[in-house]
Structure 1
Amino acid sequence: MDDDDLYREVLSADLVDRGFSVSCFADGPSFLDALNNGLEAKIALLDWAMPEMSGFELLGTLKGQGNGLPVVFLTGYSLAERELQALNQGAVDFVDKSRGADVLAHRLQLIIEGRRQSDSTGATQAQVDAQVEVHGELALHRGSERALWRGQDVGLTVAEYRVVTLLVSRKGKLHTYRAIYDTVHYAGFVAGSGARGYTTNVRSMIKRIRRKCLAVDPGFSEIKNVLRAGYCWRDPQF
């Protein structure tokens, strides 16, 4: 859902080319009408800023109706406070429009596949959320892909959550730039400028993760740089 006709048309064509079935809407009310009239969807991709009903307001309406449709925000204004606001309301991811169709399609597919696996087990949302890994002050909710630091939701996107999950899987051990990048995308994915252009993307993501954690705890210092190699999660034994 996006009120920019040209952008909506181009993106929907890009997603169709990548195997998705897409229904487009220019505003929230028309999308809600379609759902009420039987539209079946596996995921909702919403623009944040809309003239009649914002994407955030639409998310609240869906939750108020008891609709568990996964919601992803697509926006040109990827501010940490907006991400946290959306995630606390129940959105599953927050994607910057500048990332392009390939990145967006991959992240949508990860969410859809994760949802399908949860549905196949017959797990309730409460049961899914109960699947928690605890790493000291960090709690990882595997089903909803949420990270809590000292009991507070950090507001990570799905991609950021998976990076943190990778880092804590081997505390004190190096995770290379390439390994981190492959966790976000897939093995061998190429992006950025030059053979190691992906390192800039990884640094930016780690910076965002740190910033979000510092907003919760100004003393946060768990993610350590390994010079010219990658990052590691601090080993509490040292």
Structure 2
Amino acid sequence: MKVLLVDDSGVMRKIIARGLNSLWVDDVVEAADGVEAVAKFGDGEGFDLILTDWNMPNMNGLELVKTIRGGGHKLPIMMITTESEKAQVMLAIQAGVNDYLVKPFDQDTLQQKLERVLPCPANA
């Protein structure tokens, strides 16, 4: 399982990556903002999921989602952010986000959200 993890906080990327690795995600590619994420995403080959923060410099998470969806890519995208107002959640969903996880969160919540957007290899 290969995930593109996008967050401007290096500490948050490490925390989320560690959580993903303790589940069934074995390859986490990190990016510090949407611009770096688009470059690392390339043609999207091999990625199973994008996890992105909303508030980042250069290109925010919402712009990243619109860019990925604008390229015709259908892979799941989950927004992981402190933005929890209903209007924000609706904007993200309208842009093409498959699910939404509000920070802070625990490992069980991360696992539940992942299982909603991806098939767990242990259950396959």
Q: Is the 8 A contact 1:74 1:97 kept in 2?
A: yes
The answer for the alignment partner of 1:15 in structure 2 is 20
Over the residues paired in the alignment, what is the CA RMSD in angstroms? Answer: 1.7
Q: How many residues align?
A: 114
Matched residue of 1:113: which SS? Answer: coil
TM-score, normalising length: structure 1: 0.45
1:120-167 CA distances to partner (integer Å, 9 max, x unpaired)? xxxxxxxxxxxxxxxxxxxxxxxxxxxxxxxxxxxxxxxxxxxxxxxx
Q: Distance in 2 between matches of 1:103 and 1:73?
A: 13
Does residue 26 in structure 1 map to residue 4 in structure 2?
no
Q: Is the 8 A contact 2:7 2:52 kept in 1?
A: yes
TM-score, normalising length: structure 2: 0.83
Does residue 63 in structure 1 map to residue 58 in structure 2?
no
Aligned partner of 1:112 among 106, 109, 118: 118
**Distance of aligned partners of 1:84 and 1:54 in 2 relative to their CA distance in 1, 3 Å threshold:** same
List aligned pairs for 1:118-133, cutoff 5 A.
none
Q: Is the 8 A contact 1:27 1:50 kept in 2?
A: yes
The answer for the alignment partner of 1:50 in structure 2 is 56
1:153-202 CA distances to partner (integer Å, 9 max, x unpaired)? xxxxxxxxxxxxxxxxxxxxxxxxxxxxxxxxxxxxxxxxxxxxxxxxxx
Structure 2 regions of 5+ residues with no counterpart?
A: 1-5
**Letter of the structure 1 residue corresponding to residue 107 of structure 2:** A
Matched residue of 1:51: which SS? Answer: coil
C-alpha displacement of 1:113: 2.2
The answer for the alignment partner of 2:86 in structure 1 is 80
1:97-140 CA distances to partner (integer Å, 9 max, x unpaired)? 122222112211221129xxxxxxxxxxxxxxxxxxxxxxxxxx
Q: Distance in 2 between matches of 1:36 and 1:7?
A: 23
Aligned partner of 1:91 among 92, 97, 112: 97
Runs (4 or more) in structure 1 with deviation over 4 Å come to none
Matched residue of 2:118: which SS? Answer: helix
The answer for the alignment partner of 2:46 in structure 1 is 40
Structure 1 regions of 5+ residues with no counterpart?
A: 115-238
C-alpha displacement of 1:51: 0.8
Instruction: Mark the structure with the bigger radius of gyration.
Output: 1
**Letter of the structure 2 residue corresponding to residue 28 of structure 1:** G
C-alpha displacement of 1:88: 1.2
C-alpha displacement of 1:20: 1.1
Q: Is the 8 A contact 1:11 1:101 kept in 2?
A: no
Q: Distance in 1 between matches of 2:33 and 2:68?
A: 14
C-alpha displacement of 1:39: 4.8
Identity of matched residues, %: 28
Q: Distance in 2 between matches of 1:110 and 1:34?
A: 25
Q: Is the 8 A contact 1:78 1:94 kept in 2?
A: no
